Amino acid sequence: MVAYKVIFYFTSKGKRPVLDFIEQLDVKKSQPKIYALLKLLEEQGHRLGRPYVGHVKGKIKELRTKTSEGDIRIFFFFFLRRNIIMLHSIKKKTQKLPKQDIKTAEQRMRDFIVRYERGEFK
**Quick one: pLDDT at residue 1?**
60
Number of domains making up the chain: 1
Q: Is residue 81 one of the residues assigned to a domain?
A: yes
Which amino acid, residue 50? R
**Quick one: pLDDT at residue 113?**
95
Q: Is residue 122 one of the residues assigned to a domain?
A: no
Q: Is residue 18 one of the residues assigned to a domain?
A: yes
Which residue ranges in the chain fall short of pLDDT 50?
A: none
Alpha carbon 119 to its chain centroid, in Å, reads: 21
Q: Is residue 28 one of the residues assigned to a domain?
A: yes
Q: Is residue 69 one of the residues assigned to a domain?
A: yes
**Quick one: pLDDT at residue 69?**
84
Model-wide pTM > 0.85:
yes
**Quick one: pLDDT at residue 64?**
94
**Ramachandran sector of residue 34 (left: φ over 0; alpha: ψ -120 to 50; beta: rest):** alpha
Number of C-alpha atoms within 13 angstroms, CB side, residue 42? 13
Query: Domain range spanning residue 16?
Result: 5-117
**Quick one: pLDDT at residue 119?**
87
**Quick one: pLDDT at residue 122?**
66
